[in-house]
């Protein structure tokens, strides 16, 4: 085995999942994360089909995901008086297994630590320089180190991608909308409800203590680490909106757990350069597309397996990873959730609501998502390694 000393940037979902597999295969893994601790919140994520469930099972966390599943919750589209206009079925939005993002992150983190991964929180990579013997890495706080390989699993705003491949503007396509998630103490009723006005959506209520916003907007310039500035953007964007929006905005003012980002997709023609590779949203993001966590977990499984089978030869492994995964990741190149969640006109809002009243349309959409989720043949890397080692 060569190239066994691996640095992963990003401790959300894909990074710890990759670390778990690499450590199991005998690699020494360090994971660096800019945040001081694991991020607990985030939108619920879902899994469906044999591919997703097989990866979760092989990781040893499928039973835990089932134990912690939130269950898909029906959400009712309402008018300004709260009268029902249609229903977004829980089986469509929640997949076969739905789990809070924070719970999934904790599960994957725990299993990676058990496998032997080392974590460095509150730090970030400042430079990456490839040398004949590896990649020389400097950090904001830690002393410089040299690693054999570096993997960027640090999200749509990937620092690793920027340092190695080029500026974010070359690879991230803004799709004309923003979304925000606020963890709020108020439940806003037992029923999850969605209210729309042209170009704006707000969702609240139900068993999950969160408020969710999607709105159309020109590209905004703001500090992604300034929570109060991001709150002001949402408060301004939703000023004057009907329904219970003023109550929801009051709750937003008081919360500390708030997240805002653009709806964007990543378009990149290669997943690796030299000794550096990209994983998850850093390589194939489509915000709110519904496949992010599934792609990250399956991508981690494939990348780690190819590195192990190739004996750590990154040139072979990175090529096989891309060849075997790019077709599956093509789903990230399709669609834009923004106009669907926040339609631009009242007519489009009515059309969207009507879609869920027509049985065959719902079945067609669910079949399409099922087909995307299963569009890859998973190798059994443990068996392949057993064959190699005899």
Residue 4 in this model has a pLDDT that exceeds 70: yes
Query: Residue 251's closest CA among 267, 268, 269, 238?
Result: 238
What's the CA gap between 119 and 32, in Å, rounded?
A: 6
* Crossing angle of helices 359-373 and 346-355, rounded to 10°: 80
Q: What is the pLDDT of residue 390?
A: 47
Q: Which residues are bridge partners to 216 per DSSP? A: 177
Residues 212-266: tens digit of each pLDDT: 999 999 999 999 989 999 999 999 999 999 999 999 999 999 998 899 999 999 9
pLDDT for 29 beyond 50: yes
Q: How far apart are CA 320 and CA 301, in angstroms?
A: 13
State whether residue 214 is helix, strand or coil: strand
Tens-digit pLDDT profile for residues 139-186: 999 999 999 999 999 999 999 999 999 999 999 999 999 999 998 876
Q: Is 70 exposed, middle or buried (0-12, 13-18, 19+ CB in 10 A)?
A: middle
Instruction: Give pLDDT tens digits for 286-313.
Output: 888 778 899 999 999 999 999 999 999 9
């Amino acid at each position: 085995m060569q190239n066994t000393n691996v640095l992963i940037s990003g401790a959300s979902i894909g990074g710890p999942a990759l670390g778990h597999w690499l450590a199991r295969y005998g690699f020494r893994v360090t994971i660096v994360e800019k945040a001081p601790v694991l991020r607990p919140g985030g939108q619920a994520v879902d899994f469906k089909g044999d591919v997703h469930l097989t990866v979760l099972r092989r990781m040893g966390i499928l039973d835990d995901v089932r134990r912690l599943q939130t269950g898909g919750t029906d959400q009712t589209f309402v008018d300004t008086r709260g009268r029902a206009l249609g229903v977004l079925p829980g089986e469509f939005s929640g997949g076969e297994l739905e789990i809070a993002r924070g719970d999934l992150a904790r599960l994957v983190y725990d299993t990676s630590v058990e496998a032997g991964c080392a974590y460095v929180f509150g730090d970030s990579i400042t430079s990456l320089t490839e040398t004949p013997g590896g990649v020389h890495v400097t950090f904001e706080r830690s002393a410089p180190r040299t690693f054999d390989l570096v993997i960027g699993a640090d999200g749509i705003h990937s620092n690793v991608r920027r340092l190695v491949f080029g500026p974010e503007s070359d690879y991230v396509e803004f799709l004309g909308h923003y979304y925000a998630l606020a963890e709020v103490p108020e439940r806003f009723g037992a029923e999850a409800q969605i209210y729309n006005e042209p170009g704006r959506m707000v969702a609240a209520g139900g068993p999950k203590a969160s408020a969710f916003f999607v709105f159309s907007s020109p590209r905004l310039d703001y500090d992604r680490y300034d929570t109060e500035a991001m709150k002001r953007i949402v408060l301004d964007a939703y000023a004057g909106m009907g329904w219970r929006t003023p109550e929801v905005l009051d709750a937003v003012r008081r919360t500390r757990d708030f997240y805002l980002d653009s709806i964007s997709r990543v378009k990149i023609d290669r997943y690796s350069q030299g000794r550096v590779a990209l994983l998850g949203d850093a390589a194939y993001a489509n915000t709110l597309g519904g496949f992010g966590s599934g792609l990250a977990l399956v991508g981690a499984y494939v990348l780690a397996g190819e590195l192990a089978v190739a004996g750590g030869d990154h040139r072979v492994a990175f090529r096989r990873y891309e060849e075997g995964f790019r077709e599956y990741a093509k789903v990230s190149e399709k669609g834009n959730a923004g106009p669907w969640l926040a339609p631009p006109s009242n007519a489009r809002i009515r059309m969207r609501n009507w879609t869920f009243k027509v049985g065959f349309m719902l079945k067609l959409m669910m079949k399409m998502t099922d087909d995307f989720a299963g569009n890859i043949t998973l190798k059994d890397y443990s068996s392949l390694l057993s064959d190699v080692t005899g």
